[in-house]
Amino acid sequence: MNRLLLILWSLGPMLWQLYTSFRPNAALTGNPLQGGWTLEHYQSLLEGNPPFWRYLLNSGVVGLSSTLLTLVVAVPCAYGLSRLGRKTARSVNVLVAVAAAFPYVLLFLALLQVARDLHLGNNLLALSLPYTGLSLPLAILLLQASFRDIPPELEEAARLEGLGLWQRLRWVLLPLMAPAIASASLLIFLFCWNEYPIALTWLSRADLLTLAPAMARIAGSSVFTVPYGGFAAATVLGSIPLILLVLLFQRQIVSGLTQGAIKG
Amino acid sequence: MAPALLLLLAVFALPMVQYAWLSTQAQTVLTGLEPQPVGLAQWQRLLQDGRFWQDAFQTLRFGLCSVGLELVLGLAVALLLNQPLRGRTLLRTVSLLPWALPTTVMALGWRWIFNDPFGPINLLLAQLGLPTVSFLGDPSITWLSMVWADTWKTTPFVALLLLAGLQTIPADLYEAAALEGANRWQSLRRITLPLLSPYILIAVLFRLAQALGLFDLVQVLTAGGPAGSTESLALYAYINAMRFLDFGYSATLMLAAFLLMLLLSGGAVLLWLLSRPRLAGGQR
Amino acid sequence: MTATSNPNSAHGALKLQQLGRRVGRQQLLDSLSLTVQPGEILALLGPSGCGKSTTLRLLAGLDPASSGQILLGDDDITTTPPADRGVALVFQSYALYPHLSVERNLSLGPELRGTRPELMKEDINRVLDLLQLQDLRHRKPAGLSGGQRQRVALGRALLRRPRLMLLDEPMSNLDAKLREELRAELQHILRSIGAPVIYVTHDQHEAMGLADRIAVLERGQLQQVGSAEELYRRPANSFVAGFLGNPSINLLSLRPGQLIGLRPEQLRLASPGAAPTAMEASLSAQLTTREWLGDRVLLHLSSADGPLKVMRPSSDSLAAGLQPGAQVEVQWSRVDALNFDARSGERIELS
């Protein structure tokens, strides 16, 4: 019974969107059981200018590049912190944790200034820079905890065998951290995919919009009519990649979420 | 290590410094968008700005209500998921979905669900012969609709965090309590809550900070309306910067929001520290 | 046993000269001087925290020395980076790479060091044969028993063709029975390397059974180096006397300013009133409890000078028949008694 309630609470709103997205606009204001079905909403989204998949692609590009960049920057930092004394690392970590919880929307004005000064606006790859900065705290906390979980003898053994720092990372430490890296990557990717205020202010060209600002633009496009069929189709299309991601990687996402919060 | 920490400073600390400076400047269309020093005039203006105080109140109201609701529901879900049920993994996956969706996507969805009179809730009410509710058109109700939507999205996060906490509590504690004749409610109060309190604190701090940065949801769901009754501090700061091109005041607003958040987080930590000896005493 | 000895590189002796390590105010190791010959196995023995693992880490180069020198053959390696010392270390936890198979555990180091592939293959096969790991080569460490893991760790060390071989309590993760079985095999393999071997342990049986010489450490200071027999018969001080031997030596203050050390196994029992010969000494005591150990009996006695342990063969009818509370005379040969200065603990030779 409780379980049913939980499922209904979680899935109900999404199912309603799915249902709406296949209904002709005229039928939406009538009896919910009559009025037939249609694919027109999806058609118009995919034939729009730019087509809807473009936003998904943009989000994917930004998400992937930001995730990669974050890992590249965070791994050495986490390694360094994990090799510091516990006391020093702890005080650094408190600050990192504060940054991780920071409502980053408050940063948009300063970051927008950066974009203007350095001409980084309307550039998907440049958007990875603020995203990397914003994802770093979580990545550092997760990876650092994972570094600390590896017994120091393993690295010492590798050192004695003549492995340099890079070789130790590449062959011994990072393979052992694969689960943590997967968790961190997924969370970073989710964050970048969903991020709104920075994308909203850095991107203005319609064909470069990521999903979140595109969604807001769709929502704002028609205030007086009720094009909810189109809206619903957009929410469905915008949700599918994430739903797939959650279904596939539920375990890693959950472990990343809880680890990040607990160790930080 | 150094590049990462520098980047962190650049992204998180530098803006605060910049805002502090910008809040002593006027930078508007009138100054040709060039900063001009005005001392503390922006701060004076802030104190006298009714819209600021209203937004601050609305942001706080939203934050406290939604975090409170999420805690209660999150704990219920966590307790449910902590039982050895069939299909627990599936349940966890399903309950995680709302959290993973982009806020703008789900806000657009909720706009339709809250629709008056064609949203599903109002359809149901009408079917039952009850009056429909103007979820998004009534200033006294709309903010609650927003709390509802936010709770739907973030309860999974809180639940998973508390679930992780629950799983650290050894089962023999409950067995010992049961042997001493404690009922379920007593063991929840005497064992679960005290041992869970660090996790609750983490959840509260994190969620409170996020809720005070309320922006995506409001902008897409209500755009601050009706009659400004749902406008948040972040949205007001955004409007000042992007619509009024008043950058100095926008910076002042954001710094004020930041300080408010620090104050609130400090309060939450204090509350936790104060409640600890009592809870520990209850355990003895 | 030529699997690992390298005929081209003659092994040199290891010399520690006043080696010390201090961290903050703590002197972990104080001025240790030792020489270990090629092919010799030296056990570093002592209770936990005595400085034996510290010494090992200094030799491996994992921690820097605060004073003194380490010489290996003709080279001063005091500040040489770990990888360039030609040192192999078998860790207490074995430190096998959990994500790699046995074979990859062995090959990772040589491969990344740039060893020629065909040479490496040959080497690895020889080590796998030597350690009887051929059938396990594709397993991951999690699928191995403790003894098998130890062999893999040993194999990894052997592949380095070390100029100095270090082992940090390699048996402590194994059960008692297995330890005894492996001791001879391990000794055989270690000797075949031809390099100086340092073996850290807190187990005196292991040290005595495996090593040519034993160095006893306590609180960062070397107490004594010597063969097991030397340490047993002529301990330098009461600490060494107490640490070696099981059950441990009786220390009684029969004379002012002195401690007399009496090994339980060198004591005899006689009926009350029996007079000792000129070569013997005795004291009277009362039986408290008795432990039956199969071929031997361990008697706990109390005397006017303190508690006393006596170990007798179970064929000793007096020892076997004695009732708790009964009086008995404890006798020993004067030559067997060890005398220590009560204050410094140093042994005193009585002429």
Which residues in chain A have their CB less than 8 angstroms from residue C154's CB?
Answer: none
CA B173 to chain CA centroid, nearest Å = 33
Contact between C93 and A151 using a beta-carbon 8 Å cutoff: yes
Closest CA to A199 of B212, B103, C337, B140: B103
Given a contact as 3+ CB pairs under 8 Å, which chains touch A? B, C
Supply the angle between the helices C102-113 and C146-159 in degrees, to the nearest 10.
20
Q: Please give the torsion angle defined by the CA atoms of residues C187, C190, C193 and C198, in that order, rounded to the nearest 10 degrees.
A: -130
Token readout for A186 is 């997924």
Q: Please give the torsion angle defined by the CA atoms of residues B21, B22, B23 and B29, in that order, rounded to the nearest 10 degrees.
A: 160
Is residue B17 in some structural domain? Answer: no
Q: Nearest chain A residue to C82 by CA: give it.
A: A160
Distance from CA of A201 to the nearest CA of C (A): 45
CA C13 to chain CA centroid, nearest Å = 20
CATH number at residue B102: 1.10.3720.10
Interface test with chain B among A1, A45, A109, A132, by most B beta carbons within 10 Å: A109
DSSP state of A30: S
| Cα gap B272→A157, rounded to integer Å | 44
Is residue A157 in some structural domain? Answer: yes
Residue range A27-54: mean pLDDT, rounded = 76
Distance from CA of A5 to the nearest CA of B (A): 10
Token readout for B255 is 């710094």
CATH number at residue A55: 1.10.3720.10
Token readout for B26 is 């006027």
Contact between B80 and A10 using a beta-carbon 8 Å cutoff: no
Is residue A68 in some structural domain? Answer: yes
Which residues in chain B have their CB less than 8 angstroms from residue A222's CB?
Answer: none
Under the banding of pLDDT at 50, 70 and 90, the label for residue B1 is: low
Q: CB of C49 within 8 A of CB of C127? A: no
A161 touches chain C (CB under 8 A): yes
Closest CA to B99 of A65, A214, A64, A261: A261
Q: Nearest chain A residue to B154 by CA: give it.
A: A10
Contact between A11 and B97 using a beta-carbon 8 Å cutoff: yes
Supply the angle between the helices C102-113 and C117-130 in degrees, to the nearest 10.
140
A149 touches chain C (CB under 8 A): no
The three-point CA angle C194-C198-C199 to 5° equals 120
- Tell me which range, A82-96, A212-226, B234-248, C127-141, is most confidently predicted by mean pLDDT: C127-141
Q: What pLDDT shows up at residue A237?
A: 87
Contact between B100 and A253 using a beta-carbon 8 Å cutoff: yes
C111 touches chain A (CB under 8 A): no
- The verdict on domain C14-239 having CATH code 3.30.70.360 is no
Q: What pLDDT shows up at residue A111?
A: 85
Peptide bond into B117 cis (omega under 30): yes
DSSP state of B25: E
Q: What pLDDT shows up at residue B93?
A: 85
Which residues in chain B have their CB less than 8 angstroms from residue A190's CB?
Answer: 100
Supply the angle between the helices A2-21 and B88-100 in degrees, to the nearest 10.
50
Distance from CA of A193 to the nearest CA of C (A): 32
Closest CA to C150 of C206, C87, C96: C96
Residue range C80-97: mean pLDDT, rounded = 91
DSSP state of B189: I
| Cα gap A8→B95, rounded to integer Å | 10
| Amino acid at position C150, single letter | Q
Query: Higher confidence at residue A128 or residue A222?
Result: A128
Q: Nearest chain A residue to C88 by CA: give it.
A: A160
Domain count, chain A: 1
Which residues in chain A have their CB less than 8 angstroms from residue B166's CB?
Answer: none
Domains of chain C, by residue range, sit at 14-239, 248-348
Q: CB of A187 within 8 A of CB of A141? A: no
Given a contact as 3+ CB pairs under 8 Å, which chains touch C? A
Q: Residue C10: which residues within 8 A CB-CB, separation 6 or more?
A: C38, C73
Is residue A131 in some structural domain? Answer: yes
Q: Residue A77: which residues within 8 A CB-CB, separation 6 or more?
A: A136, A140, B1, B3, B4, B5
Contact between A157 and C95 using a beta-carbon 8 Å cutoff: yes
Under the banding of pLDDT at 50, 70 and 90, the label for residue C300 is: very high
Token readout for C212 is 């040519």
Is residue B101 in some structural domain? Answer: yes
How do residues A178-221 score in pLDDT, each as one tens digit? 888 998 899 999 999 888 888 888 888 888 888 888 888 877 76
C24 touches chain A (CB under 8 A): no
Q: Which helix (H) or strand (E) holds A32?
A: none
How do residues B52-103 score in pLDDT, each as one tens digit? 888 888 988 998 999 999 999 999 988 888 888 777 788 888 888 888 888 8
Of the ranges A128-132, A227-231, C196-200, which one carries the lowest mean pLDDT score?
Answer: A227-231
Quote the domain boundaries for residue A149.
39-263
How do residues B107-121 score in pLDDT, each as one tens digit? 888 888 887 777 888
Is residue A2 in some structural domain? Answer: no
pLDDT at C89 over 70: yes
pLDDT at A225 over 60: no
Q: What pLDDT shows up at residue B69?
A: 93
Query: Higher confidence at residue A212 or residue A27?
Result: A212
Closest CA to A240 of B101, C314, B70, C105: B101
Chains B and C are in contact, defined as 3 or more C-beta pairs closer than 8 angstroms: no
| Cα gap B116→B195, rounded to integer Å | 44
Which residues in chain C have their CB less than 8 angstroms from residue A158's CB?
Answer: 97, 108-109
Distance from CA of A162 to the nearest CA of C (A): 4
The three-point CA angle B106-B107-B111 to 5° equals 115
Contact between B215 and A10 using a beta-carbon 8 Å cutoff: no
Cα-based distances in Å from C48 to B223, C56, C271: 68, 13, 42
| Cα gap B29→C7, rounded to integer Å | 86
Distance from CA of A65 to the nearest CA of B (A): 16
pLDDT at C250 over 70: yes
C99 touches chain A (CB under 8 A): yes
Supply the angle between the helices A178-194 and A52-82 in degrees, to the nearest 10.
140
Q: What pLDDT shows up at residue C7?
A: 42
Which residues in chain A have their CB less than 8 angstroms from residue B165's CB?
Answer: 262
Q: What pLDDT shows up at residue B283?
A: 38
pLDDT at B284 over 60: no
Phi, psi dihedral angles at C147 (to 5 degrees): -65, -40
| Cα gap A189→A8, rounded to integer Å | 27
Q: Residue B90: which residues within 8 A CB-CB, separation 6 or more?
A: none
Residue range C215-232: mean pLDDT, rounded = 93
pLDDT at A263 over 60: no
Beta partners for residue C197, in sequence order: C41, C165
Beta partners for residue C332, in sequence order: C281
Which residues 177-206 of chain B have a CB within 8 Å of chain A? 199, 202-203, 205-206
**Residues composing chain A:** 264
Of the ranges A219-228, B101-110, B250-259, C94-103, which one carries the lowest mean pLDDT score?
Answer: A219-228
Q: What pLDDT shows up at residue B277?
A: 58
C23 touches chain A (CB under 8 A): no
Distance from CA of C115 to the nearest CA of A (A): 12
How do residues B212-258 score in pLDDT, each as one tens digit? 888 888 888 888 878 788 888 888 888 888 888 888 888 888 888 88
Which residues in chain A have their CB less than 8 angstroms from residue C60's CB?
Answer: 156, 160
The three-point CA angle C287-C293-C297 to 5° equals 35
CA-based max dimension of chain C: 79
Q: Nearest chain A residue to B205 by CA: give it.
A: A101
Q: Which CATH class is domain C248-348?
A: mainly beta
Under the banding of pLDDT at 50, 70 and 90, the label for residue A227 is: low
A165 touches chain C (CB under 8 A): no
C98 touches chain A (CB under 8 A): yes
How do residues B32-44 score in pLDDT, each as one tens digit? 677 777 777 788 8
Q: Nearest chain A residue to B92 by CA: give it.
A: A250
Average pLDDT for chain C:
89
Closest CA to A158 of A149, A167, A150: A167
Contact between B7 and A73 using a beta-carbon 8 Å cutoff: yes
User: What letters, b where the CB count within 10 A reaches 16 and e where it falls short, cover C137-152?
Assistant: bebbbeebeebbbbbb
Is residue A175 in some structural domain? Answer: yes
Domain count, chain B: 1
A85 touches chain C (CB under 8 A): no
Write down the H helix ranges in A150-210: 152-160, 165-167, 174-176, 178-194, 197-202
Which residues in chain C have their CB less than 8 angstroms from residue A160's CB?
Answer: 60-62, 82-83, 87-89, 160
Contact between B247 and A110 using a beta-carbon 8 Å cutoff: no
**Coil vs helix vs strand at B26:** strand
- Long-range contact set of residues A194-197: C-beta below 8 Å, sequence gap at least 24: A194/B101, A194/B102, A194/B103, A195/A131, A195/A134, A196/B102, A196/B103, A196/B104, A196/B215, A196/B216, A196/B219, A197/A104, A197/A105, A197/A108, A197/B215, A197/B216, A197/B234, A197/B238
Q: What pLDDT shows up at residue A5?
A: 84
pLDDT at C1 over 60: no
Contact between C83 and A162 using a beta-carbon 8 Å cutoff: yes
pLDDT at C2 over 50: no
| Cα gap C97→C113, rounded to integer Å | 17
Distance from CA of A152 to the nearest CA of C (A): 9
Output the 3-class SS for chain C: CCCCCCCCCCCCCEEEEEEEEEECCEEEEEEEEEEECCCCEEEEECCCCCCHHHHHHHHHCCCCCCEEEEEECCEECCCCCHHHCCEEEECCCCCCCCCCCHHHHHHHHHHHHCCCHHHHHHHHHHHHHHCCCHHHCCCCHHHCCHHHHHHHHHHHHHHCCCCEEEEECCCCCCCHHHHHHHHHHHHHHHHHHCCCEEEEECCHHHHHHHCCEEEEEECCEEEEEECHHHHHHCCCEHHHHHHCCCCCCEEECCCCCEEEEECHHHCEEECCCCCCCCCEEEEEEEEEEEEECCCEEEEEEEECCEEEEEEEECCCHHHHHCCCCCEEEEEEEHHHCEEEECCCCEEECCC
A207 touches chain C (CB under 8 A): no
Q: Is B106 exposed, middle or buried (0-12, 13-18, 19+ CB in 10 A)?
A: buried
Quote the domain boundaries for residue B110.
60-245+257-283
Query: Higher confidence at residue C129 or residue A48?
Result: C129
Is residue B225 in some structural domain? Answer: yes
Distance from CA of C62 to the nearest CA of A (A): 7
Of A140, A238, A258, the CB nearest to B161: A258
Chains C and A are in contact, defined as 3 or more C-beta pairs closer than 8 angstroms: yes
Q: CB of A158 within 8 A of CB of A172? A: yes
Which residues in chain A have their CB less than 8 angstroms from residue B123's CB?
Answer: 32
